[in-house]
Structure 1
Amino acid sequence: MKPQLILIAGPYRGGTDGDPVRIAENLRRLERAALGVYERGHMPMVGEWVSLPLARTAGSERIGDDISERFLYPAARRLIERCDAVLRIPGESRGADGDVELARKLGVPVYHRLDELPDVTFAVSAVHDSRSVPR
């Protein structure tokens, strides 16, 4: 199978009570999962990688303000329509649960563990095996 574009769905604000330190830790958890997806040969996507810069550019001053709300969930929804699969990582999150629900409605596969991801076969022209990420 060729590499898939896989959206990582999990808590961003969920379980944080708006605490910026806890929100940042949630983002790091999403990004650690993204690294695991990449190391398995796929291309990861985290919705906040798209929505946060868009919200900032539109004038958002903090997570949860009206401007950021225009981007956080809608960006993830648009991405799901473009992704080949969703990886739902653990943790309470209404947004991530909504992402999973939408993915299932669209027939997009939903995985819950990295070892569920399909194996990747790279094209002959692939110069570098992306699974050998330096540590």
Structure 2
Amino acid sequence: MLILIAGPYRSNTNDNPELIAQNMHRMEEAALTVYRAGHTPICGEWIALPLIQQAGSTQVGDTVFNEIFHPVAVRLIDHCDAVLRVGGPSAGADEMMNQAALKGKQTYWAMENLPVASVSSV
């Protein structure tokens, strides 16, 4: 399955870059676990952040950032089989879960609920 990782990015950071980086690190740790369970993980940030930079954002939360950041993840849900919620409180991550449910996608609220896929070697 292609699984979107939904977790806090800015939540509880006061936009402190070090705390944001810690949140991103936790999502990427989850992505590795998803990969090792035989799935293909994706974080919306992996797509959104380069687009935000290219579009000329000058700070987290500016107009350009807000134009792209969450909408990219919502669009990604259409292409994913499931969304996995990780980390602590986050209105944005919770909204990704709501969007996934509305779109009929599988939602996983804990890593241990994620099925292990059979992995074929290339």
TM-score (structure 1 length as normaliser): 0.86
Amino acid at match of 2:68: F
SS at 1:70 equivalent? helix
Moved over 4 A (4+): none
User: For 1:63 and 1:45, how far apart are their aligned partners in 2?
Assistant: 21
User: For 2:36 and 2:17, how far apart are their aligned partners in 1?
Assistant: 28
Candidates 20, 27, 30, aligned match of 1:30:
27
Structure number with bigger Rg:
1
SS at 2:60 equivalent? coil
Candidates 5, 8, 11, aligned match of 2:8:
11
Shift of residue 18, structure 1, vs aligned partner: 1.1
Unpaired runs of at least 5, structure 2? none
Question: How many residues matched?
Answer: 122
Shift of residue 61, structure 1, vs aligned partner: 1.7
> 1:42 is matched with which residue?
39
TM-score (structure 2 length as normaliser): 0.95
Structure 1 position 73 matched with structure 2 position 70: yes
Shift of residue 115, structure 1, vs aligned partner: 2.3
User: For 1:101 and 1:120, how far apart are their aligned partners in 2?
Assistant: 24
Amino acid at match of 1:19: N
Shift of residue 121, structure 1, vs aligned partner: 2.4
Q: Over residues 24-63 of structure 1, what are the superposed CA-to-partner deviations in whole Å (9 max), with x where a residue is unaligned? A: 1100011010011001110000010010000001111221
SS at 1:74 equivalent? helix
Candidates 69, 89, 95, aligned match of 2:92:
95
User: For 2:119 and 2:88, how far apart are their aligned partners in 1?
Assistant: 32
Candidates 95, 110, 120, aligned match of 1:113:
110
Which structure shows the higher helix fraction?
2
Q: Share of identical aligned residues, percent?
A: 47
Q: Over residues 74-114 of structure 1, what are the superposed CA-to-partner deviations in whole Å (9 max), with x where a residue is unaligned? A: 00000011100000013111100100111111111111222
